[in-house]
Structure 1
Amino acid sequence: MDQPAVINKELALGKFTDKMLDDMRALIGTDLRTESCLNNEYATRLAIMRFCEGIGDDNPLWTSADYAKDGPFGTLVAPPSFIFACLGSVQVGWPGLGGFHAETKMSFGEPIRVGEKITAKVTFDGFDGPIADSNFGGRRIKDYLRQEYRNDEGDLKATFICSRMRFERGEMQKRRESRAIEVPHPWTDEEISEIEARVLAEKPRGAEPRYWDDVQVGDEIDVITKGPLGLTDFIAFIAAGAAPIPRIAAHAVSLKRYHRHPKWAFRDPRTHALEPVYSVHYNDYAAQLQGAQIAYDVGIQRTCWQIHSLTNWMGDAGRLLELTGQYRSHVYLGDVVTLGGRVDAKEVDEQGRHIVRLTTWATNQRGQQAMPGTAVIALPTRSAV
């Protein structure tokens, strides 16, 4: 009988080497296997509902069949972020290194309609670096995965360029104390009441069109608030079918995986259980091994919030065409994130669509910009009424 793999109480502490970099260059252009990261092949009513619950978006265009049948699509559609529930983010190479999602670029086609089957193709587009040194975590590189989502007719529903920062965990751990902050944040009862009142007051624009004609450069979009973020908020995102790499499993299923791939897991010294590397998003010990203070959010989780704020503002007749987002600073358990944006330009594009270009932001209670970004939205016009 084979001896079981030895799994340490630490996350893997890999190093950049010339061989690693050469091996990764040889993989550029490779289409990656996705089977272990598939979550929802079909945009069923329940899959869409569970995803919306996991990101805190109760827009009836996604969640109420009675409402949606009278909407612009005549049926339920999924929010643009639903692609994250079709396929958990895929990893490539970099054995033993740590990783943070650094940036997202997305473009969108027609909305995903209830019942459609969605298939993803993932290609490794290469990497930049390594940068010799950075104050954040020593040597690092930035890699790029291109994910294309299509229905059975071959219609392109979305393109997602996912870039991650790769680093040596040992170097990141050395710098952890220099980034120390008070976490979780010490909210007062009065502050909590005010935050929750803001959240409860939020609502999507809905069936009332937001006309391009009425929007002015400099207008700010409606603000939405997420938090104070609790463990259930993070777990709900996983339960929604988003994010785990590969899918989270339990007992014999996970144990067999970890023994085949020991660097996928570590042994928690408090519970003695094996935990996946992904548990940095709900396990404080794992997050600290990654160089963070405590458990922190998922990059694409933040993008889901960004999309929530944009679709709330644009109304049922608007179309989200493009967005970008850079993930800066961790969003920790207990944090509050406020998302907003500003209209920077109005124009008619080459396809004759009336579009607005926006700068977007996500700030935490410390005044940090956690996700600067941009968006392009097509809006209806009064002349077309």
Structure 2
Amino acid sequence: MNQETHNFPKITEGALADLRGRIGKRIEDTLEPWCYEATRDNIRHYAHGMGDDNPLWCDPEYAAQTRYRGLIAPPSFLFACSRIISGYVGGLPGVHAMWSGADWTWHKPVYRNDSFTTEAWLKDLVEHETRFAGRAIQQIYHVNFFNQRGELVAEAESWCFRTDRNLAREKGTKYTEAKAKAPKYYSDSELEEIFDLYEREEIRGSTPRYWDDVNIGDKLPRMVKGPMTVSGFIAYAQGWGGLYVRANKLNWKQIKKHPGLGIKNRFGVPDCPERVHWEAELALAVGAPGAYDYGPERCSWLTHHVTNWMGDDGFLRQAKCQIRRHNPEGDTIFIDSSVTRKFDEAGRKLVEITQEALTQDGELSARGSAVVELPSR
């Protein structure tokens, strides 16, 4: 594939009008989710895919001693239980989709062996003018998650930006400087600083963090993710489930059903657009600075930062995440968070946390917030 000459489908008014006609209508025909059930293995694979080894998700003997009496899943595990919340978007065939954020509310924990059904609809379409690709369409979905007892476990909204790949490649200015930079090469001392943060990463665990002891302005220990590698992107896809990664006959069936999905590879074979996460050539062809991480992966890192801090007896009520740029191979991001509000709501002792993730060059990668319920003395 030659990135200079390859022409991709464009946003058309007819396709956009068709998509607008779907707003508010429940989606009946959806792709099979990666996980129907929160099994021991599914939970562990997801947690390990985002680099989280909290024993509350990963060690049954440890988890049995907690108030849950067994394993629970990290809150962001539900990304694996819905293709729609994870970025599967209908309409505008062949037009690039970039997952760019989510707002979550959790009502109940996800227990081991819970199974899930969902209901979803297209909530809105919002037009933007962007530095990445000029005109972009923000496509917003709402998804509800129910367990096997019919209880509402969580609800969320997520959005993708639909962009013309050709315009992003030829006229986008967002990554002009990034593409001109020499590839990042880490010195041993730089790596040592990153690895030291991994060494000092604290999982609060069974030591309660009491609401009474938290103060506005308290900072969470800095968390690091990276340096970004294709291996890391694939590790997340193993636990979360790549949207379009299919083999042989199943790939053929997918592309037959959705002809705009397949993008020919260097052998002339239609292959999935998800290759932007491991194939730098395709990523550059759609205007990105190189093979880059998954959006839900970044959201999961922000919630990981909070669950480490809150401990086993905390409960993540809400989380919001906005993706601000791609994280290509070689980038490292540093997550800093602080308590910005402390309040009581109907007897629940809550704190609000503001989050920011910056690259090694100080560029904003993502921002977010969380509301955590904590035990009180």
TM-score range, shorter chain: over 0.9
Unaligned runs of 5+ in 1: 1-6
1:53 matched residue in structure 2: 48
Q: Determine the C-alpha separation between the residues in 1 that align with 2:93 and 2:246.
A: 21
- Give, in whole Å, the separation in 1 of the partners of 2:246 and 2:132: 32
Q: Is the 8 A contact 1:11 1:266 kept in 2?
A: no
Give 1:62 shift: 0.6
Q: Which residue of 1 aligns with 2:258?
A: 261
3-state DSSP class of the match of 1:347?
strand
**Kept after mapping to 2: 8 A contact 1:137/1:168:** yes
C-alpha deviation, 1:266, in angstroms: 1.4
Residue type of the partner of 2:202? K
Moved over 4 A (4+): 7-12
Q: What is the CA-CA distance between 1:222 and the residue it aligns to?
A: 1.9
2:79 alignment partner in structure 1: 84
1:365 is aligned, of 333, 346, 360, to 360
How far apart are the structure 2 equivalents of 1:370 and 1:187? 19
* The one of 100, 103, 120 aligned to 1:102: 100
Which residue number corresponds to residue 192 of structure 1? 191
Identify the residue that residue 331 of structure 1 maps to in structure 2.
327
1:300 is aligned, of 296, 299, 311, to: 296
Q: 1:25 aligns with which of 14, 20, 29?
A: 20
Cross-structure match for 1:208: 207
SS of structure 1 residue aligned to 2:31: helix
Whether the aligned pair in 2 keeps the contact of 1:11 and 1:277 (CA below 8 Å) is no
Shift of 1:265: 1.6
User: Residues 1-385 of structure 1: matches in 2 within 5 Å?
Assistant: 13-33=8-28, 35-88=30-83, 89=86, 90-129=88-127, 131=128, 133-174=129-170, 175=172, 178-181=176-179, 182=181, 184-242=183-241, 244-246=242-244, 248-269=245-266, 271-349=267-345, 351-382=346-377
Deviations 1:247-267 (A, max 9, x none): x11122212322443321212
Contact 1:34 1:122 in 2 (8 A): no
Query: For 1:284-341, what per-residue CA distance to the aligned partner results, in whole angstroms no more than 9, with x for missing partners?
Result: 1121121112111111100111111000000000110011111001111111111121
SS at match of 1:331: coil
Question: What's the CA shift for 1:245?
Answer: 2.3
Measure, in 2, the Cα distance between the counterparts of 1:34 and 1:207. Answer: 43
Q: Are the aligned partners of 2:58 and 2:71 in contact in 1 as well (CA < 8 Å)? A: yes
AA matched with 2:56: L
Q: Which amino acid aligns with 2:310?
A: M
CA contact 1:11–1:265 (8 Å) conserved in 2: no
Note the C-alpha offset of 1:159.
1.2
Normalised TM-score (structure 1): 0.91
Question: Deviation string for 1:186-215 (max 9, x for gaps)?
Answer: 211111122112112213100001111111
Q: Distance in 1 between matches of 2:23 and 2:315?
A: 33
Aligned pair in 2 of structure 1 residues 221, 251: CA closer, same or farther (>3 Å)?
same
SS at match of 2:205: coil
Q: Contact (CA 8 Å) 1:184, 1:335: kept in 2 or not?
A: no
Between the two proteins, the alignment pairs up a number of residues equal to 370
Cα shift at 1:16: 3.0
Letter in 2 for 1:103: G
Q: Deviations over 1:353-378 (max 9, x none)?
A: 01011111111101011111111111
Amino acid at match of 1:24: L
Contact 2:77 2:240 in 1 (8 A): no
In the superposition, relative to structure 1, how do residues 227 and 47 fare at CA in structure 2: closer, same or farther (>3 Å)? same
The one-letter code sitting in structure 2 at the alignment partner of 1:128 is V
Q: CA RMSD in A?
A: 1.9
Q: What is aligned with 1:3?
A: none
> What amino acid maps onto 1:266 in structure 2?
I
| Distance change in 2, residues 1:16/1:295 (3 Å) | same
Q: Which amino acid is 1:346 matched to?
A: K
Aligned letter for 1:306? L
Deviation at 1:274, TM superposition (A): 3.5
SS at match of 2:290: coil
Q: Among all aligned residue pairs of Structure 1 and Structure 2, give the percentage whose two residues are the same amino acid.
A: 31
- Cα distance in 2 for partners of 1:304, 1:184 equals 26
Alpha-carbon displacement from aligned partner over 1:215-263 (angstroms, at most 9, x marks no partner): 1101111221111111111011111133x224x1112221232244332
Deviation of 1:11 (Å)? 7.1
User: CA contact under 8 A between 1:210 and 1:318: conserved in structure 2?
Assistant: yes
1:141 partner amino acid: I
Offset of 1:74 from its aligned partner?
Answer: 1.0
